[in-house]
Amino acid sequence: MFQQGMTRRHFMSHAALGSAAVLGASEFLHHLQLNAAEVSKNRKACILVWLGGGAPTIDMWDLKPGSKNGGEFKPISTAGDLQICEHLPSIAKQMDSLSVVRSMSTREADHARGTYFMHTGFVPNPTVVHPTFGSVVSYELGTKRKELEIPAFVSIGGGGMSPGFLGMSHAPFTVDAGGRIQNADMAGVDPNRLGARLSMLETIEDGFIRSNRGDAGQAHKDVYSKAVNLMRSQQMQAFKIDSEKPEVREAYGRGGFGDSLLMARRLVEVGVPFVEVNTLGGWDLHNDVFNTLKTQRLPQLDKGIAALTADLKERGMLNDTVVVCMGEFGRTPRINQNVGRDHWATSWSVLIGGGGLKSGVAIGETDADGTRIVGDSYLPSDLWSTVAYALKIPLDTVHTSKRGRPMKIAGGGQPIKGLIG
């Protein structure tokens, strides 16, 4: 198993350096403490569980019993101070650690535009590509984690969101639910040849670097050394969920979604500050919404999110790890003629927890039919500002687009008061 936030190799090197035989026992202890402080300073992270297609949150987090829009499901009580859907019983037991924002109003009800808005905090604009929030976290936190040998923004399942003006070095590093990384191994070539290849490469590269043509040559060499470090890094083990005990894998649920969440936890454990999980799709439920939810989507979601929450808590990681679960919008309170729900961005819910945010509460409310927000409503910029706050990224951070336009982090939103209060 991993030491928390520390690779085995990293740990071994510290252990060798600080072994009690060389240093006095008190020095050794001091060294470990210093290291522990460094690790805990560096462990803030966010796991975004993406429900692509737009989940019917009115059937999950904000039920409307008694309304014509209420649908087939009943609310149940939870360990927190709110009720959720009866088909999420395991999450219900963890709700003292999680909260629901019931007053999201996000105006974009088209898949592409909603996906963009919810990931970036900015509405699409033809003149600039805003970074998805994982790229922002990679830019703000990843660059400061010198011990991190693997990319700071991992997307399990992909999804095509862009680092925008922050540049491709903050693009999501995409793997599938099996943890396979494209091109990370030498595809059958004897790995011992890598060393010889790199020696020849160095001969050629160094000549070009010395030829006085600017920085491009050295920059290229640096990236290659990072790529080689990655290929050889012990932290790559974080992608290998096979090494987990069977009962742990069972708890998360066997299958792509459970595996992804487990992998997300392992990645956060080695210091990755942002993981997006996009392996439980199929929420665009224009037809047959209740049946599909009850038999397919909700059981997987319930098992996975509940196991993740419990596991993070047990490992003492929940206070530093924000978990956000949402899609690009909610779905219409009105039930259509195909027993489905259509796109709806006016009044919907997001599940959020961990990271020291207030837990076990419902923030905001919708009216009895779920069609309107009563009181304050929130935008994705507010949601991401809340996450930034939890990750201790200063909210007055400003990034500059390639055309020199200043952009406030998270679209200049305000942290949601009920969550940080």
Partner 1 sequence: MKSTVMTWGIRFGLMAVLCQSGMGADQKFSSGSTDPIVQFIDEQIQKTWDENEVKPSPVADDAEWVRRVHLDVVGHVPAGQVVDEFLRDKNPAKRSQLIETLLADPGYVRNFTNYWTNTLIGRVTPEKTNRPALEKFLRESFAKNRPWNEIAYDLLSAEGRFDENGAVNYLLAQLQLNPNSEEYVVEATAKTARIFLGLQVQCTQCHNHPFNDWKQNQFWEFNSFFRQMRREDYEKYNPATGRMDDDYSELVHRDFDGPVYYETRAGLMLVAYPKYFGTEVDPGSDTNRRLELAKSITRDDSNKWLARAMVNRMWGHYFAYGFTRPIDDMGPHNPPSHPELLDRLTDEFVTSGYDLKQLSRWICNSEAYNLTSKFNPKNEIDNPANGEVPLFSHMYVKPLQVEQLFESLLVATEADTAIREGGASGNYERRQMQQQNWTEQFLRIFGNDEEEPTLYSGTIPQALLMMNGPLVRTAISGEKGSYLYTVMTNPAYKKDPERIRALYLAALGRGPTSTEIKGLQSMMARYPDRVSAFQDLYWALLNSNEFIVNH
Per CB under 8 A, residues contacting partner 1 are 126-129, 151, 162-165, 167-169, 171, 173-174, 181-187, 193, 196-201, 203-205, 207-209, 211-217, 219-224, 226-227, 230-231, 401-403
Nearer to partner 1, 191 or 394 (CB): 191
Nearer to partner 1, 225 or 336 (CB): 225
Nearer to partner 1, 34 or 196 (CB): 196
Residue partners of 383: CB distance under 8 A and separation at least 6: 101, 104, 121, 324, 350, 352, 413, 416
Nearer to partner 1, 135 or 377 (CB): 135
Nearer to partner 1, 199 or 337 (CB): 199
Q: 3-state DSSP: the chain helix, strand, coil percent, rounded to 5?
A: 40, 15, 40
**Shortest Cβ 281–partner 1 spacing (Å):** 18
- DSSP assignment of 209-278: HTT---SHHHHHHHHHHHHHHHHH-GGGGGG-GGGS-HHHHHHH-SSHHHHHHHHHHHHHHTT--EEEE-
**Shortest Cβ 394–partner 1 spacing (Å):** 26
Nearer to partner 1, 130 or 303 (CB): 130
**Shortest Cβ 183–partner 1 spacing (Å):** 4
Q: If we measure between CA atoms, which residue out of 385, 378, 388, 377 comes closest to residue 415?
A: 385
**Shortest Cβ 271–partner 1 spacing (Å):** 16
Instruction: Identify the residue whose tokens are 């010889």.
Output: 196
Nearer to partner 1, 22 or 196 (CB): 196
What 8-state DSSP symbol labels residue 22? T
Phi-psi region of 79 (alpha: psi -120 to 50; beta: other; left: phi over 0): alpha
**Shortest Cβ 103–partner 1 spacing (Å):** 27
**Shortest Cβ 273–partner 1 spacing (Å):** 16
**Shortest Cβ 288–partner 1 spacing (Å):** 17
**Shortest Cβ 407–partner 1 spacing (Å):** 13
Distance of CA 188 to the CA centre of its chain: 33
Question: Helix, strand or coil for residue 299?
Answer: helix
**Shortest Cβ 343–partner 1 spacing (Å):** 14
Nearer to partner 1, 245 or 403 (CB): 403
Residue partners of 290: CB distance under 8 A and separation at least 6: 59, 71, 72, 73, 339
Nearer to partner 1, 219 or 398 (CB): 219
Distance of CA 263 to the CA centre of its chain: 11
Nearer to partner 1, 86 or 176 (CB): 176
- DSSP assignment of 27-90: HHHHHHHHHHHHHHHT--EEEEEE-TT---GGGTTS--TTSTT--S--EEE-SSSSEEETT-HH
Residues 220 and 216: their CA atoms lie apart, in Å, by 6
**Shortest Cβ 138–partner 1 spacing (Å):** 11
Residues 91 and 310: their CA atoms lie apart, in Å, by 10
Interaxial angle between packed helices 193-209 and 216-232, expressed in degrees from 0 to 180 and rounded to the nearest 10:
160
Cβ atoms 84, 61 nearer than 8 A: yes
